[in-house]
């Protein structure tokens, strides 16, 4: 019986290894969700497209984005802080920058959602 024990143990070990997957399954990919084009927004000196990019938390509602931007442009000259012109509006943290055409662009985020202004596409 002593000579069969190693053979039986070897068979048990090998059969246990093949009982199921031995590697982690790849993560599932979320389906592609395109950004939402909310339309144009008038800013001092011109117009910008308002876009809500698809984030893991979803997309920002366009009507809320328009309201936040209206408040931002009204209040930023008096209340925004720092070179990024940071201002919190209705819980949205907004910052401004100058794009490559020397036009103001604003981005805001809140709870994993975001929206941005960008140059109007032709």
pLDDT tens figures, 23-49: 676 677 767 778 999 999 998 778 999
DSSP 29: P
Selection from 66, 50, 63, 61 nearest residue 105 by Cα:
50
The tens digit of pLDDT for each residue in 45-102 reads 789 999 999 999 999 999 999 999 999 999 999 999 999 999 999 999 999 987 666 6
Find out whether 38 and 52 touch, Cβ atoms under 8 Å. yes
Task: Please give the model's pTM, rounded to 2 decimal places.
Answer: 0.71
Start-to-end CA distance of the chain, whole Å, equals 85
Strand partners, 36: 52
Selection from 105, 109, 112 nearest residue 88 by Cα:
109
Report which secondary-structure segment, H or E, holds 89.
strand 87-89
Q: Which of 16-20, 67-71, 117-121 has the lowest mean pLDDT?
A: 16-20
Q: What pLDDT, on a 0 to 100 scale, did the predictor assign at position 25? A: 67
pLDDT band at 1 (very low <50, low <70, confident <90, very high): very low
């Amino acid at each position: 019986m002593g000579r069969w024990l190693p053979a039986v143990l070897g068979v048990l070990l090998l059969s246990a290894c093949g009982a199921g997957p031995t590697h982690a399954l790849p993560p599932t990919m979320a389906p592609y969700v395109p950004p939402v084009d909310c339309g144009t927004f008038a800013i001092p000196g011109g117009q910008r497209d308002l876009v809500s990019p698809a984030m893991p938390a979803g997309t920002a509602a366009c009507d809320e984005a328009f309201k936040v931007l209206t408040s931002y442009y009204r209040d930023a000259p008096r209340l925004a802080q720092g070179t990024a012109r940071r201002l919190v509006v209705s819980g949205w943290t907004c910052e401004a920058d100058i794009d490559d055409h020397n036009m103001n662009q604003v981005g805001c985020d809140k709870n994993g959602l975001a929206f941005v202004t960008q140059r109007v596409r032709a």
